[in-house]
Structure 1
Amino acid sequence: MLTRALIVVLAILNLGVALWWMLRGDPVPAAPAATTGVAQLQLLPSTGAPPPPATVAAPPTQALDDVTPAPKPTPVATSSAAATEPAVASVTAAPTPTPTPAAVQPPPASAAVPAAVPAPAAAAPAQCVSLGPFADRAAAQAAQAKAGAVLRGARLREVADAGATRYRVLLPAAASREDAQATVKRIMAAGVSDYYIIAQGEETNAIALGQYRNREGAERRMAALSAAGFNARMVASGGDGSAQWWLDATLAEQADASVVRQRSGAAQQRSLDCARVR
């Protein structure tokens, strides 16, 4: 009777162990044992900001718990029907360091823009006048002294035979007709036109180079001949032979021509090209 009861108990125990093996599931793998005193490498999630500089973790004050997988239970023929579940030790997780946001650099200060320098005002063009006429050189010099500092670069100019109605430009008479013709060839080579050789009178063998109704035209002709290398002279005709003097000068800045004329005592004032004053 006792033997039969023992067989029934062993059968029930074997059946319970078989059910436990079928229902217990896959065993949980245990975490590897951590080495004491060595920092663990942890992967942090990727962020847009650069990671902060790595810092050496201080050695832990306490050793990590030693995790040892529980041994598999061995079926034992005992009178106890309860089975003990394997205990799983928990591993203390190290705290995850919080990434420090990168320091925000302040925007660079904008470069100071230099203030615009105002452009200097354009100087007013010079104004030149001719004051006169004066009967002689002394009268023209006295008028210059009366005008004072308002006249700059003043010079006296004599106009011979002021009553002349025309002016001729001549080259001095040559010694012979052949010499005059040789001079004509030189004139033609220089590109000068409007010429002829005077054949009779006091100016025989002289070369006429034009006749003008005003003195300015005759002076321009003489200047062109002088640039070509010919020493011409001007002869006035149709006047009484008297001469006049004029005072040519540049006005000082902000000087009024009419006021300067009254101060100098001149009867007339004429606008003048400043190139003729220099």
Structure 2
Amino acid sequence: MLTRALIVVLAILNVGVALWWMLRGEPAPVPPAMPSGVARLQLLDTPPAAAPAAAPAARSAALDDVTPTPPTSAPPATAEVAPGAARPPAATAAAATPASIPAPTPPAAPATPVALRCISLGPFADRDTAMAAQGKAGALVQRSRLREVPKPGASSTYRVMMPAAASRDEAQAMVKRIAAAGISDYYIMGQGDDANAIALGQYRNREGAERRLAALSAAGFTARLVASGGAEGAQWWIDAALADTASAGTTRQRSGAAQQRSLECAGLR
């Protein structure tokens, strides 16, 4: 009985020794022996904000017997400001000044329209002269038109006529064609320079005569408008709207007109 108890105790001791051997860990390495005459290296605590360049100087100062090597030239590093240090005035001003933002450009004010000014230039002896004067005015006028009026003292009427035929029979044949087209108010002139010409109406204003000409042209007939008294009894004027920068006097001189008169612009719109 005693022998069995000893065996159990020995087994437990063996198991305990085995567990201690397994759990004891690796033994700490023994540092090699330093040669005589060499100082031992000691690490110094440095503050967290110390510049990296100060570490080599601290380590070299810790070695009493080691001859320091001459420092090599290095490019200058940009100085860093510690968290608690004062910021330079220039940097503080740059950080405090916001980025310059250009002010929005105000919208341009709409241009004030210039009131339209209209004049009549003339008188001109015939249509061709008036057309030439109209071209000379050029850019001084915005738009223009020609207007024929009777000379002072002449009857203010306009006649619509067809050219004189070679004989009375030809004139009568033309009258039959005019009547067949549904056109009335006509007669054959029997004497004078306009003998055998066909008169197709007499009007007090030019607008009525021009409407008659348009109706004859649509029906296929060629006619002409004659102011009362012939070509010698009429004169021509230019009704024009001046450009914004033009003056009435300059426009009159450029066109070669002898006179200028004020004109309501409603008729030119």
Higher helix share: 2
TM-score class, shorter: 0.3 to 0.5
Q: Which has the larger radius of gyration?
A: 1
- What TM-score, normalized to structure 2? 0.41
